[in-house]
Structure 1
């Protein structure tokens, strides 16, 4: 027999409270939400790029350039290590995923191999990502493993996504969507960001900060003529005019940077304060102590910002970077440095912007489509099952919509135009359970069973079909959410929430309201019997 258990009534009341509590903020203005007491939840639906307007960028991660740089670093590591071991080197050339070192004297092969293996840790010939192997009597190959080269691509994309997210957050953009597309591409959607040029500038700057010694033993003019020493590189100053010859070996890099902030120099001009971690502070302190009176270069993205002279050992691990900064440029650079450097350069493959007015038009169109869908369902249910049973299904549908909005607001989900399509589809599917239950009741009533028996059979025998139909739908939605990206995931997320809430409301709300009607009216037959 159909029973109205107390727990069902309590669950229905709690669901109504939940829907109202997490949905009401969407009907308020930002000022009204701010004026509410702090203990009240204030989550709202986040509108996607297509509804709110904003900027869209498709970025290509230059994995090849990153791999080339990593292999070039092997060259410098080998040169520095063998120099410290006092092993004479005739030449170092690139070979595939690594470098081949040619020794001047084959007699030094054993100490050279021993020194090179210290780079791998533990003195072994093979590390998890690099190998050291002999080639003949006077050659050593130092290279990345194939697995390490393969892993560099996915790792670089994952790291780039996190760096891009931190940089966009520094702009104050709300709920950006940053997703992978394919193997080496990133899609960035920044709702509310009206200036794609600024977004592109902040995202695309590599922000690789390094501290390197200036080469004072060799002539800059000779380097400009083409005679660049193998352990040095020729870089231009920030003004694009002044050349600098600097050692390739990096003393400290941005990876050792703990924090950066905007400050002022001795002339009260904007400058950038920095602080290193323990390892960076130690290396910086040792280098400055051993090179008093010599200049060192502060390099950002391949340009020398400044090249101050070391007057004393800098052991505190902190200092300031002086340059021709403004407050705005210093703040932007600080945000980039605090956000971390990109592991690989990014190039913009596609850019477009959606205006706020176009987004508002999409919202109005979505609202109209939802209202039309709701009206269509209302008319169909009332015409098919009468005012009572059709009206009860509509009440369940209203609570269903309230729970969907509440759940999406609570989870911080982003509503997109495809998400609205998922919401409309959910409204149409939500009454499927009611149709199955009502049709079963109708069959039982026409077979001569009592109203109570017909209602009991309608709910019990239709549940298997309801669960089966909605389970396949939610599995399809989960597959779309797992493998999809952007709008596809928005559609899948809205559909998943809608399936769960529609089954809940269609069964529970309908059952509770029909039992109340049954107890109050005690009918001799069901109104839907034909």
Structure 2
């Protein structure tokens, strides 16, 4: 027997068993299901509602499963898509606005596989069906919000420096600070330059004022932050609501793509996106001004908002924000140890903590409010200039106070929000804070629904192309290389098992149509390594080498060539993944995994089979079936 290490046999066996085990769930297809979620975030579907769902479906004669809890939702499996659609329409009418009823797909993976952490590959929108949204971030609002904040910083810096000023005027991307005399203007240069390094400072000679113009690099940073923050907030919010395998990614300079696989109801998906919100912490204005809030006239520097309670009473708040939702790093629901009332424990980042400490330290005993700001986007029917009726997105913003509590002590990076009515309200508030706030409003500029039937057709077409390619490759290898061709064919099947197993193991990996194209390409490329090895063995035999020597020489000498040929393709796959987005990345991932897998099965897998046939026995083989 040739000197082939035994550990390679065990390595090959371990990889095939492990990948085969985690690839196994993919043979169990998803089934149509209906997902019921509470309209209020954080609330669960009650036991009574679950019984109501079962009885409603039974009375309608619809076959369904027992139901199962998925996060805070209730999932009911149906026999087919027709019954799924009927069940969704029936439950939406029965449960009303208190619950969201959406179409979904449920896995049928056996329990013992799920206990091992094995689950099917995540399928993309084009294979599973679902809803696709293209959202555009309102960049003008982003810059305006930051200019308002910088205006406040300028006033604070001048106040701390003891410099008197007349006014701070915002004009697009420029701050103009006016003074009574030139002496005050000269004294203000240093504190303004220190407090606002993002601005270019200039001072007219004829007037006692300073102009602060925002740098282009700062504008770019603001816009990038807004898009990234919105993407993170939308992703967190979708995950908190239990939408499985959702894709939220940036596209271009100011757009975000949101794909919700398995969700077929666009209206319900818009409600999910519309529930993203921002929170602001503000001081409640002085009590003597609160009486004027009832008249609807807010004194300078204040704003009136309704309090979300039974009476919807108005609350007068200071315009200046202490901190905002995007500065919250963590939030969790808990209970007060003394009173047992629900509360929300909040953690702020460094910037928010400094602001909170400074403001609350000066306002102990004063009430502080949590302002909830929610932007909803609905598609409305309008008539264009050609007289055609089209659907256009229209955004509305709701602002109301959800909590008012008295500041008991100086607050820092961690504090509590109390005064909540119920644990459900505390859980919802913690969820909103934890999910993150939007840095700027977003508008739905494109909406597309992919049906599950189209996804099934895409899967069928992809499988047909892969099977056809495999059949041609298998037939060629078997005819041209005989027994060695059979070894290569078995390695090719093992290669597919490894690809599927690795894709199922990688968290967040999603298979799309371009991903299937990558697998098909890998099938064609997988035998390249075996062709190089086998041709080298044939050449060695023609040169008069003995069979075992020809095998040893063929595998060892062809390895360098195989490595060089595949490394260049792997580099291209890495570039595609780093520079591409969405489907391009899906293609790059499957191509990269397929190349590594094909090298493994071609070099170690076929060699192990060759050794098992030709490397055993006392007598050396007279010839090779190649």
- The aligned counterpart of 1:300 is 372
Of residues 520, 524, 527, the one that matches 2:622 is 524
Partner SS state of residue 527, structure 1 = coil
- The aligned counterpart of 2:491 is 396
- Whether the 8 Å CA contact 2:158–2:192 is kept in 1: the answer is yes
Relative distance call for 1:86 and 1:506 in structure 2 (3 A) is closer
- The aligned counterpart of 1:49 is 125
| Alpha-carbon offset, residue 431 of structure 1 | 1.1
**Cα displacement string for residues 280-314 of structure 1 (whole angstroms, at most 9, x for unaligned residues):** 764675565465xxx87643227542498888857
- The aligned counterpart of 2:571 is 475
- Aligned CA-pair RMSD: 4.0
Relative distance call for 1:191 and 1:273 in structure 2 (3 A) is same
Structure number with greater CO (CA < 8 Å, separation at least 6) is: 1
CA distance in 2 between partners of 1:311 and 1:330 (Å): 17
Of residues 34, 54, 64, the one that matches 2:111 is 34
Say which structure is richer in strand.
Answer: 2
- The aligned counterpart of 2:443 is 347
- Whether the 8 Å CA contact 1:477–1:495 is kept in 2: the answer is yes
Q: Confirm whether residue 183 of structure 1 aligns to residue 253 of structure 2.
A: yes
Gaps of 5+ in 1: 121-126, 265-269
- Whether the 8 Å CA contact 1:262–1:334 is kept in 2: the answer is no
CA distance in 1 between partners of 2:327 and 2:516 (Å): 46
| Alpha-carbon offset, residue 442 of structure 1 | 2.8
| Alpha-carbon offset, residue 52 of structure 1 | 1.9
| Alpha-carbon offset, residue 434 of structure 1 | 1.6
- Whether the 8 Å CA contact 2:19–2:498 is kept in 1: the answer is yes
Relative distance call for 1:11 and 1:313 in structure 2 (3 A) is closer
| Alpha-carbon offset, residue 20 of structure 1 | 2.7
| Alpha-carbon offset, residue 81 of structure 1 | 5.2
| Alpha-carbon offset, residue 60 of structure 1 | 1.6
Choose 1 or 2 for highest CA Rg: 1
- The aligned counterpart of 1:335 is 431
- The aligned counterpart of 1:11 is 11
| Alpha-carbon offset, residue 458 of structure 1 | 3.0
CA distance in 2 between partners of 1:274 and 1:146 (Å): 38
- The aligned counterpart of 1:408 is 503
CA distance in 2 between partners of 1:250 and 1:177 (Å): 32
- The aligned counterpart of 2:324 is 253
- Whether the 8 Å CA contact 1:299–1:305 is kept in 2: the answer is yes
Q: Confirm whether residue 207 of structure 1 aligns to residue 278 of structure 2.
A: yes
CA distance in 2 between partners of 1:119 and 1:178 (Å): 35
| Alpha-carbon offset, residue 73 of structure 1 | 2.0
Q: Confirm whether residue 432 of structure 1 aligns to residue 528 of structure 2.
A: yes
CA distance in 2 between partners of 1:12 and 1:312 (Å): 65
Please list, as runs of the form range in 1=range in 2, the aligned pairs for 1:444-459 lying within 5 A after superposition. 444-459=540-555
Using the size of structure 1 for normalisation, the TM-score is 0.81
How many residues are paired up?
507
- The aligned counterpart of 1:124 is none
Q: Which sits farther off after the overlay, 271-280 or 57-66?
A: 271-280
- Whether the 8 Å CA contact 1:288–1:313 is kept in 2: the answer is no
Relative distance call for 1:356 and 1:20 in structure 2 (3 A) is same
| Alpha-carbon offset, residue 200 of structure 1 | 3.3
| Alpha-carbon offset, residue 422 of structure 1 | 1.0
Relative distance call for 1:230 and 1:8 in structure 2 (3 A) is same
Relative distance call for 1:101 and 1:281 in structure 2 (3 A) is closer
| Alpha-carbon offset, residue 32 of structure 1 | 5.2
**Cα displacement string for residues 72-112 of structure 1 (whole angstroms, at most 9, x for unaligned residues):** 22223334555677755433222453311111344544665
Q: Which sits farther off after the overlay, 57-66 or 80-89?
A: 80-89
- The aligned counterpart of 2:225 is 155
Partner SS state of residue 57, structure 1 = strand
CA distance in 2 between partners of 1:382 and 1:309 (Å): 77
Relative distance call for 1:138 and 1:418 in structure 2 (3 A) is same
Relative distance call for 1:27 and 1:290 in structure 2 (3 A) is same
| Alpha-carbon offset, residue 481 of structure 1 | 1.0
Please list, as runs of the form range in 1=range in 2, the aligned pairs for 1:475-514 lying within 5 A after superposition. 475-514=571-610
Please list, as runs of the form range in 1=range in 2, the aligned pairs for 1:124-273 lying within 5 A after superposition. 127=197, 129-130=198-199, 134-136=203-205, 138-204=208-274, 205-214=276-285, 231-233=301-303, 246-255=317-326, 257=328, 258-259=330-331, 261=333
